[in-house]
Amino acid sequence: MNKFFALVRRALQTESRLARGHGFRCLLGIFVLWTLVTTRWEVFNRGAPGLNLFRSMSYYNYFFITILGTAYFATAITEEKEERTLGLLKMAGVGATSLIMGKWTPRMISAFLLLSVQIPFTVLAITLGGVLWQQIGAVYFALFAHLFFVGSLGLFCSVLMSTTTGACLLALGSLLGMSILPLIATGLFRNASGSLLGDMVLNLASFFRSMHAFQSIGFTLSTGFNSSWWSIQVISNLIVGGIILAVTWAIFDICTRNEKEAGGLGYFDRLRKRLQSKGRGRVWSAALVWKDYQLLGGGGIFLFLKFALYFGFVLFFALGTGISRSRMLENLGWTLIGWSLFFFVFETAIMTARLYRNEMSNKTWATLIMLPRSSKEMIYSKLIGGMTTTLPVVACFCIGVVLTPDDFFDALGSIMSEAEAVLGVSYFVMQIVIAIHLSTYFSISQKWAIWPMAVFLSGFIVFIANVTVMGCLFIGISPGDASAILFMGNVAALIITIVIHYNIGKRLIAVAGE
């Protein structure tokens, strides 16, 4: 217990001195306050204004816990592995129980502080009317159970994986799989109800859907709620979270028995080398492009496997959502186009947040920048090599265009024929570019900004800034002024992108000299 309290005390003292935790709590409070201020007052006057406010707060909490919690808890043990201090703690006699609970408990306390920020707004929601104390208690019970489950899952991934990136990907992928796979399974086996296999799959999918806090919050905040706080979601999240904690404790010594040497190969790299055992030709002047093509993209074999995974996911999604058989190819093509655009943005954001951080964490950027090439050539060569990770998504997009050539080019022509539509699309694209640049800058300038936090924080900042600025500009304007505002927005977005782009290069050069 002394070792456990020593780890908890040290973690809390360190956390209280860092601006990271205070910043996230401040951001969430500002977001809730912004929602209260910018929401139209007539919405509150229609009835149940407190319920509308508390519903928005509850969903904000859910997404903050899911996205930030996954990254926050997934670094509990991997940060000790990457800093090569886990072995020292074990040599000092700190056992598995003390290490696991000593690293997990302070993070749970910090997450509770994140929820406590909203107590004044909760009181305000009760004052506005429309929400009952029973609903508030049930929602906070659901959020606590969801936090416990996410924290346990993140800790399990942190023990299982050797790097922070791998732990975050595994935790986030597990949560996404729990959200998407039940919907796909329900769509595929909807017509098979009555058979043994169909009923088994449908019941299992229904159980996984009942575990989601998002669905539980929606049911709790519905009109006429009068159920117990101990819902199926709360009980299942607590039980499954406890089981995950027990499994984490059981495998801790096995997974941390041999620390990975600095610069050693992980599971992904060893598998890639085994599959790509054939000799390669010379890469000549494209050595840096080839390096990131192999390390970030995984090479040709893994790009093909990723393409098969994306295409299979879209196919199962289309079948699960009831694709129309009369226009099967057209519907499949539009589904491929839509998901390809989403995954392209998602993969690009992750890639740029990881592109230079690997060199930063492994202390190899200063050595790499000393090669007889200009710094700009080094930076852009790595960017080109990293962009090869999006080739499977681009292939899926091209297949979608081939399946719907007439409809796609007709839609594209209708957009290009209207200046306001072109300005709107270009403005939306520029906001994505700004968010990607921000995530890159955070990843190289802040030690805590691992890619999930960097991507989420940059998207959050861009979203808040856009809704606030554009909401103020579009109040009381005539329809003809929209094009002028969008044009000025594109110009401002271009200037902001150039400034962040310049600062990224400046920061990379400065890091090389540190």
Q: What string of DSSP letters covers 20-85? A: HHHHHHHHHHHHHHHHHHHS-HHHHHTS-HHHHHHHHHHHHHHHHHHHHHHHHHHTTTHHHHHTT-
d(CA 65, CA 208): 18
Number of residues assigned to the chain = 514
In this predicted structure, the answer to whether residue 33 has a pLDDT above a threshold of 50 is yes
d(CA 328, CA 332): 6
Higher-pLDDT residue of 402 and 300 is 402
Higher-pLDDT residue of 374 and 474 is 374
pLDDT of residue 498: 92
pLDDT band at 39 (very low <50, low <70, confident <90, very high): low
pLDDT of residue 449: 60
In this predicted structure, the answer to whether residue 262 has a pLDDT above a threshold of 60 is no
pLDDT in tens, 370-396: 777 777 888 888 888 888 888 889 998
Higher-pLDDT residue of 251 and 225 is 251
pLDDT in tens, 148-169: 998 899 889 888 887 777 788 8
Angle at 43 between CA 38 and CA 48, to 5 degrees: 120
Handedness of CA 485, 424, 353, 64 (dihedral sign): positive
> Mean of the pLDDT values across residues 476-495?
77
CA distances from 161 to 75, 96, 103, 261, 452 (A): 10, 16, 16, 14, 16
In this predicted structure, the answer to whether residue 476 has a pLDDT above a threshold of 60 is no
Residues 6, 89 contacting (CB under 8 angstroms): no
Q: Provide the 3-class DSSP secondary structure of residue 418.
A: coil
> Mean of the pLDDT values across residues 109-134?
79
Beta bridge partners of 193: 195
d(CA 319, CA 191): 12
329 Cβ contact partners less than 8 Å away, ≥ 6 residues apart: 403, 404
Higher-pLDDT residue of 253 and 19 is 253
Residues 272, 298 contacting (CB under 8 angstroms): yes
pLDDT band at 499 (very low <50, low <70, confident <90, very high): very high
Q: Which two tokens stand for residue 298?
A: 């995984």
Nearest to 451 by CA among 340, 361, 513: 361
pLDDT of residue 76: 80
In this predicted structure, the answer to whether residue 365 has a pLDDT above a threshold of 50 is yes
pLDDT of residue 194: 66
| pTM attached to this predicted model | 0.72
Start-to-end CA distance of the chain, whole Å, equals 40
**Angular region, 259: left φ>0, alpha ψ -120 to 50, beta rest:** beta
pLDDT of residue 403: 85
Q: Which two tokens stand for residue 354?
A: 């990881």
Where are the chain's structural domains? 2-255, 282-512
> Mean of the pLDDT values across residues 181-206?
73
Nearest to 131 by CA among 212, 60, 32, 58: 58
Q: Which two tokens stand for residue 174?
A: 């597990």
pLDDT band at 95 (very low <50, low <70, confident <90, very high): confident
The maximal CA–CA distance of the chain, rounded, in angstroms, is: 72
By percentage, how much of the chain surpasses pLDDT 70? 84
Calculate the average pLDDT of the chain: 78
d(CA 415, CA 38): 30
Burial class (CB in 10 A: 0-12, 13-18, 19+), 77: buried
By percentage, how much of the chain surpasses pLDDT 90? 3
376 Cβ contact partners less than 8 Å away, ≥ 6 residues apart: 505
CA distances from 122 to 27, 219, 357 (A): 17, 18, 39
pLDDT of residue 40: 55
CA distances from 328 to 337, 393, 473 (A): 14, 21, 43
pLDDT in tens, 422-472: 888 898 899 889 988 888 888 888 766 667 777 877 887 887 777 777 666
Q: Which residue has the tokens 């039940």?
A: 182
Highest-scoring range by mean pLDDT, 210-219, 258-267, 316-325 = 210-219
In this predicted structure, the answer to whether residue 366 has a pLDDT above a threshold of 50 is yes
> Mean of the pLDDT values across residues 283-291?
72
d(CA 119, CA 493): 36
pLDDT of residue 47: 63
Nearest to 355 by CA among 372, 325, 379: 379
Nearest to 400 by CA among 457, 305, 332, 351: 332
d(CA 390, CA 303): 9
148 Cβ contact partners less than 8 Å away, ≥ 6 residues apart: 108, 237, 238, 241
Residue type, 198: G
pLDDT in tens, 408-423: 888 888 888 888 888 8
- Give the least confident one: 55-64, 213-222, 266-275, 451-460: 266-275
